[in-house]
Amino acid sequence: MAEMQNIQWFPGHMTKTKRKIAESIKLIDIVAEIVDARIPQSSRNLDIEDIISKKPRLIILNKCDMADPRKTAIWKEYYKKNGIEAIDVDSKTGKGVNLFIKAIRGVLSDRIEDAKAKGINKSIRVMVVGIPNVGKSSFINKISKGKRARVEDRPGVTRGNQWFFIDKNFEILDTPGVLWPKFEDPLVGEKLAFTGAIKDQVIDIQQLAIRLLELLSIDYKNNLASRYKMTEEEVDGLNGVDLLKAIGKKRGMLISGGDVDTERAAIMILDEFRSAKIGRITLD
Ligand code: G4P
């Protein structure tokens, strides 16, 4: 395996976001945690776990259209075993998004029944949390059907501009502040970079593509072979660097002297991974 320098990642200060989340947690009934279904574990921010674990939870596996359906099913099963409900959605087309309200009501069913028995008709308030790029804005847009009626637009309600009605008696709070990814494991950093959650400017793009090829050649050999018109044996016989070169050559990405333009090839491979052209792939 190629040695990749640890991704130098200097996120913004989390203190303010954490404080705001801690303040808002009192107002909400349930946390909807959005993750990228291609990296359901690596795209979580466990730094806020101590704050949000006090509340019921729904996990939203977003971008499931690009993730490996077999692994998505395994992840859902895993969460279920740990007592957490999860739904898989595609916020680009809106597929699965209609399950959200039902799933939230399901998780909170005891409380809803209790309130009903007491004659209380309280709104359900959900805080949606997620690191950048998991598709949080797309998801909120879809569930609010693009209307995003702000709660503050209603007379007598001034809870700030990140609250939205998505239904009568159903309010959403977008993550207050930016929830930067936090990780110690370099592999987690790489996976965030593969999906574009960490911007390419802070990364050596060729090293990143080489690492991605190494990982794909283990679990998704077949995808690599069919996308780049190679045999599985060919993929097997090459290390990451040589795979990058071989793919660049296949695509005619040559520079003067006949060498492969590995930078161009790396950009192309990452781009094709991010747009699921290599297939539906899950790396966690
Ligand atoms: P964020 O608020 O969490 O930062 O994410 P945002 O909604 O901005 O989504 C980040 C990118 O992911 C966007 O692509 C968005 O279209 C895409 N995306 C979000 N949800 C899904 C999904 O379920 N499936 C797929 N395939 N893509 C999704 P972009 O390239 O930044 O913009 P564009 O393609 O919309 O122009």
Of 26-30, 160-164, 240-244, 258-262, the range with the lowest mean pLDDT is 160-164
Residues 6+ apart with CB under 8 A from 179: 14, 17, 21, 45, 48, 129, 130, 131, 132
For the chain, give the number of residues. 284
Three-class SS of residue 230?
A: coil
* Amino acid symbol at 49: E
Class of domain 204-274: mainly alpha
| In 108-202, beta strands by DSSP E | 124-129, 149-150, 163-167, 170-174
In angstroms, the CA 284 to CA 281 distance is 10
Stretch (H or E) spanning 87: strand 85-88
58-88 tens-digit pLDDT: 999 999 999 999 999 999 999 999 999 999 9
Ligand 1: residues with CB < 6 A are 62-63, 65-66, 90-92, 130, 132-138
Q: How far is the CA of 135 from the centre of ligand 1 (A)?
A: 5
CB 280 within 8 A of CB 68: yes
CB 39 within 8 A of CB 189: no
Encoded tokens for 246: 């071989």
Residue range(s) of every CATH 1.10.1580.10 domain in the chain: 204-274
- In Å, how far are 19, 117, 122, 156, 169 from 113, measured between CA atoms? 32, 6, 11, 28, 15
Q: How far is the CA of 132 from the centre of ligand 1 (A)?
A: 10
Q: How far is the CA of 75 from the centre of ligand 1 (A)?
A: 21
Residues 6+ apart with CB under 8 A from 29: 55, 56, 108, 111, 124, 125, 126
Q: How far is the CA of 138 from the centre of ligand 1 (A)?
A: 6
129-153 tens-digit pLDDT: 999 999 999 999 899 876 655 555 5
Whole-model pTM above 0.75?
yes
163-213 tens-digit pLDDT: 888 877 889 999 888 888 888 899 999 999 999 998 877 789 999 999 999
Whether residue 274 has pLDDT greater than 70: yes
Class of domain 14-174: alpha beta
Please name the residue that has the structure tokens 């290390």: 239
Please name the residue whose Cα sits nearest to atom 33 of ligand 1.
92
Strand pairing category for 170-174 and 163-167: antiparallel
Q: How far is the CA of 90 from the centre of ligand 1 (A)?
A: 10
Encoded tokens for 258: 């006949």
Residue range(s) of every CATH 3.40.50.300 domain in the chain: 14-174
Of 32-36, 97-101, 116-120, 199-203, the range with the lowest mean pLDDT is 199-203
* Amino acid symbol at 180: W
Question: Would you tell me how many other CB atoms lie within 10 Å of the CB of residue 233?
Answer: 10
Mutate to test the pocket of ligand 1, among 38, 65, 89, 92 (most ligand atoms within 8 A of CB): 92
Mutate to test the pocket of ligand 1, among 72, 134, 137, 138 (most ligand atoms within 8 A of CB): 138
